[in-house]
């Protein structure tokens, strides 16, 4: 697999084949791609009220806001690096995995807008 032309002297070099993957203009790499195994980062935010799985080393700690609504809503915040944002921009796809431990699946909601949450006191 060779570099893919994106038109107008822009080229895409896949990390599966090329030693220096990224987006090229002519022969100059203008956007280098970082390591492939990076995952989005869960970040703390001012409204958070709890950290789920804080003392469970087999899981990543989840800073969260626990709403006081009858549905039991919990909100998390993920920070995507540049590569993730670029990939979503070009593919329009975001994959979401949930551990159910063979129990019933709970409703899930992915948002790009921040939901309403009062700041903690």
| Residue-wise DSSP of 57-72 | TTS--EEEEE--STT-
Query: What's the half-sphere exposure (Cβ side, CA atoms, 13 Å) at 105?
Result: 6
pLDDT in tens, 82-103: 888 988 999 999 888 888 888 8
Give the span between the Cα atoms of 89 and 42, in whole angstroms. Answer: 20
Average pLDDT, the chain: 83
The reported pLDDT for the residue numbered 8 is 77
Indicate whether 38 pLDDT > 80: no
The reported pLDDT for the residue numbered 41 is 87
pLDDT in tens, 43-69: 999 999 999 999 888 888 899 999 988
The reported pLDDT for the residue numbered 29 is 83
Cα dihedral 108, 111, 116, 120 sign:
positive
Instruction: Give the DSSP letter of residue 90.
Output: H
Structure tokens at 49: 């009220």
């Amino acid at each position: 697999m060779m570099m893919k032309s994106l038109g107008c002297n822009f080229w895409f070099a896949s990390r599966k084949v090329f030693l220096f993957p990224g987006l090229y203009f002519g022969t100059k790499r203008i956007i280098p791609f970082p390591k492939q195994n990076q995952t989005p980062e869960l970040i703390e935010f001012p409204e958070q009220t709890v950290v789920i799985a804080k003392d469970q080393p087999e899981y990543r700690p989840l800073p969260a806001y626990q709403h006081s609504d009858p549905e039991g809503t919990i909100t998390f915040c993920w920070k995507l690096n540049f590569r993730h944002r670029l990939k979503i921009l070009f593919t329009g796809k975001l994959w979401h995995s949930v551990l159910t431990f063979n129990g019933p699946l709970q409703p899930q909601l992915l948002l790009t807008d921040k939901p309403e949450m009062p700041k903690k006191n």
